[in-house]
Structure formats: structure tokens, C-alpha cells
Structure 1
């Protein structure tokens, strides 16, 4: 009986995402909630435009505008998060170019920023990963270490 509880506890512990801090989860939850609010307010605005009076439309426009402002503020707070502002790698800065080959320690998981959409870049495709190198963001082929795209000073404005 004791081993069943232990096994269940271990399985539950393994299912909890360990890489995302609690604050980050709260922030993403807030953004998801704000996006849902924007969708709902947009739906209500369309309904008011179809079936409501002028005052209903005016009121719904204001609520839709407020929901979009809340979403924009949440995204700004998310991007201004200070956890990545003092990033320094244990090796010296080197300016990489497209076609350069990185050693595997340069694109180790600890240098891969999660949440592609947070950084304002397209989703990394298959076998590609984003790697932060000081203030530069590199799109790297994870199989061979070739640099596919370089975003110079991508993190410099996030201080």
C-alpha cells in the first residue's frame, strides 16, 4: 500500500513542469486570460453592432479597447521580466554569422530561451532551436550546430 502512494507521488512530481518558475506560470496564465477576454469582448462588440443600439455599440467598443489595453500591458510586463536581464555566459562574447558552427556547449539547454513568442521571433522549426549568446539571439540547427539566423542585440532593449 505504501509503495502505491510513493509511486503515485513520484508520477505526480514528474508531471509538474520543473523548468518554468511559478511566477512565469502566473504571467502566462494572465496573458491567456487577457487573450480570452479580448476574444469575448470582440464577440460582444460584433453582436452589439449587429443587433444593438448606438449606446450599446459605444459601450462595447470601450470594453473591447480596455481588454486590448490589459492584454498589451500584460505582454509588456512579461517582456520586461528581469530574470534574463543580467545574462552572461561563462565564455567570452563572439559575434556569430549565418553558417558558423557552434560547439555543443554553446547551445546547451541552459542557453536556450523558452517561449519563442515572448521574444518576438517566429517559432523555431523542426530540429532548430533559439540560443541566447549575450545580447544576441541565434537560430541554430540543433543537429549540427550551424547558425541559421542571427538577431543582433535582440535583448539589449529589455533592461
Structure 2
């Protein structure tokens, strides 16, 4: 009985971090939906309600936005986006610089997602993380097309 309980506890302890990360992404999505819903209710209150209704709905929108900011901050603090260090020294790249292929190896390419706040990379282009900088690189020539300095510092 005790060994069964310990085994279940260990399995739960191993599964919880993955579930927590998924909940965080889901929380951000839910918070965005809540903000939209509260904004819709504010519009309805402006059309059909009195001043008290409008004031209450504005407070609800403000609270929903605060919750969204907190959920985004929690999501960005996931350990997989912290303490990134490349196995080479920091070098400040400029537009037009040429990178060696090991600088834009797949392990340094963050998957494109709306969380980075940059446009989708075009054909034969990829985003490369170099310490806190985000570089848009032409994969064929290795030329740097765009540099986002300290892009990961605020996340």
C-alpha cells in the first residue's frame, strides 16, 4: 500500500511541471478571451447602461488586462527561456554581417510564434538567438537582414 502511494506520488511529481507549462499557455489564451469579453460588455454598458454600469465595466476591463499581463509575465518566466548562453562569446552583429553556419544551427533558432513580437520570417530566412539579441538571417548566404537588440532582456 505504501509503495503504491509513493509510486503515484513520484509519477505526479514528474508530470506536474509539464502540466504547469500547458496551464500557463492556456491561462494566457483564456485571459485574452476574458479581456475581449469584458470590452464587449463595456461597449454594451456604454450603449444601454448608466454611469455606474460603465464605471463597473471599466474596472472589469482594467482587472482583466492586469490578469493578462500577469499571465504573460508568468509564461515568459518559464525556465526554458531563461539563462540562455551560446557556447561562444557575445559579439554585436550589424545588418549586413555574415555569420558562420554554426551561429544559425537549429539549436539557436527559436520557433516562430506570436510571443516573440516579430513578423514571420520569409523564405530562406530564419530567426537566430544570439544571447539577448534576435537576428533575422538569410540561411543561404548567412547575411544578417535585421537585428533586434536586447529582444530577450525584457521577457
- Which residue does 1:87 correspond to in 2? 84
1:105 to 102, 106, 114: 102
Give the TM-score normalised by the residue count of structure 1.
0.73
CA gap of 1:124–1:47, structure 2 versus 1, over 3 A, is: same
Match of 1:141 in 2: 138
> Contact 2:21 / 2:78 at 8 angstroms: preserved in 1?
no
1:118 aligns with 2:115: yes
Deviations, residues 55-74 of structure 1 (Å, cap 9, x unaligned): 22222111111111111111
Which is worse superposed, 80-89 or 41-50? 80-89
Q: Once the 2 structures are TM-superposed, how far is the Cα of residue 24 of structure 1 from its aligned partner?
A: 4.1
Aligned residues of 2:134 and 2:147 also touching (Cα < 8 A): yes
Q: Is 1:129 matched with 2:122?
A: no
Provide the secondary structure at the position in 2 that maps to 1:98: coil
Instruction: Name which of 11, 19, 31 aligns with 1:34.
Output: 31
Deviations 1:17-67 (A, max 9, x none): xxxx65543322211111111111111111111112222222211111111
The 2-side partners of 1:22 and 1:149 are apart by: 36
Listed one character per residue, the Cα deviations across residues 88-143 of structure 1 (whole Å, up to 9, x for unaligned) are 21233333221122222211221112344323333333332211112221111233
Select 2:49's aligned residue among 52, 69, 76.
52
Q: What residue number does 2:67 align with?
A: 70
Do 1:96 and 1:150's aligned partners in 2 also have CA atoms closer than 8 Å? Answer: yes
Stretches of structure 1 that go unaligned for 5 or more consecutive residues are 1-20
**5+ long unaligned stretches in structure 2:** 1-17
What value does the CA root-mean-square deviation take over the aligned residues?
Answer: 2.2
SS in structure 2 at match of 1:131: strand
TM (norm. structure 2) is: 0.75
